[in-house]
Amino acid sequence: MSFPATAKITKEGIIEIGGVSVEVLAEKFGTPLYVMDEQTIRQKCREYRLAFQNKYPNTSFIYASKALSTLSILKIVAEEGFGLDISSGGELYTALKAGVDPETIYFHGNNKPADEITEALEAKIGRFVVDNLEELNELNMQALKRGEKANILVRLNPGVEAHTHEFIQTGKIDSKFGFPQSGIPELIKKIKAAKAINFVGIHAHIGSQIFEADSFAKETDVLIELGAKFKKEGLEVKEINIGGGIGISYVDSDDPPPIEAFAEKIAAVLIEKAEAAGLDTPKLVLEPGRSIVGEAGITIYRVGSVKHIPGIRTYVSVDGGMLDNPRPILYGAQYKVLVANRALDEEKHKQTIGGRFCESGDILFKDVHIPMVKKDDLLVVFCTGAYGYSMASNYNRVPRPAMVLVNDGKAKLIIKRETYQDLIKNDILI
């Protein structure tokens, strides 16, 4: 598994990140607490850029903001030369408030509301990734009324079934996303007839948390073949967008390839087959999200109670759980957990870490071996930077946690902890 770039365990067994002790962070900002390491985020962005610059220079990177969309995080990735992949008006609003150049924004989604299409046109975003004919018609109609042209990529279903959880597979034939290949002739006809549409390229996404670079290579190969069909009908494919980046190492058994190997695989397919298919060195676009922010994040919990059931199990209850990280209850996601001030202790005991919420399935870790914990101990969960905060809720009317950004021994609050007043601010008492 992977730690943030700046994470360390002192000789006293205390965990630090960004030069700040986890104990200090918990004391100052409270728990549960999301912590993001700025250096790791920037490092991951640079690793992608460097790897593909050497293998396929005509590559652009679009951060998948659904992984974690906050003003400060988006500002950082934009500073590192990344554009943004958005899939809602709210993500667009956040991006614009963060100062992201609208020209670098790609708007995804399988059911974009008409008003959000309007917002994106008004913002003059760079690309719409069109998912269906209804959307194509709506976009064309709105752009016509404005006297403008909308740049589009079309999302195609490549029929590539990646080895990952079924909930995060998106490229198999039976999917709600993308045009089926059988529908391409009609799609091409509609694009050519749309007067306010500027066709730029094609897009596909086969899923997330994928470790096999070969799956992405196969997807790229399929897209090149499909791109040749578009070109034959007079639609030049200037961009090929293959979706997200590689998976990350949540636990020791996860084994993603190095980014350099990933880049080499994709570049080899493009260089060998694009020219043969009549595509003139198309721009490659990637949309990493989890692999940019996932390893950069940790979550700190405080232990509230320890319950021993003789002969069955020891339950440890913490002050967070499925509210701040629903991934374990949704699809059995696994993480690495350590005791914040006894990370080097060799004596381990089997314990199950449960959340505070009123669901039996609110279990973060089942039967993990860590030092025996007690009330008020701090637990640190690694690789929580992606899809924790962005999928968080207010279940049981509990306020969502704060988030801090650490770097060079300093911690800055980038999301305030919610209050009870925040919980009812949109309620109306009748």
Domains of the chain: 8-30+296-424 (2.40.37.10), 38-292 (3.20.20.10)
Question: Would residue 45 show up in a list of annotated catalytic residues for this protein?
Answer: no
pTM for this predicted structure: 0.94
Tokens of 380: 């640190």
Instruction: Please list the alpha-helical segments (H only) found in 274-371.
Output: 290-293, 327-331
Instruction: State pLDDT tens for residues 61-118.
Output: 999 999 999 999 999 999 999 999 999 999 999 999 999 999 999 999 999 999 999 9
Q: Looking at the DSSP assignment, which residues form a beta bridge with residue 337?
A: 381
* Stated length of the chain: 430
CA triple 197-200-203, angle to 5 deg:
110
pLDDT at 170 over 50: no
Instruction: State pLDDT tens for residues 290-318.
Output: 999 999 999 999 999 999 999 999 999 99
Distance CA 90, CA 191 (A): 28
- Round the CA-based radius of gyration of the chain to a whole number and report it: 23
Distance CA 416, CA 245 (A): 30
* Cβ atoms 384, 2 nearer than 8 A: no
Average pLDDT, the chain: 94
Of the listed 358, 428, 429, 430, which one is catalytic? Answer: 358
Coil, helix or strand for 209? coil
Query: In 159-217, at which residue ranges do the beta strands (DSSP E only) sit?
Result: 197-203
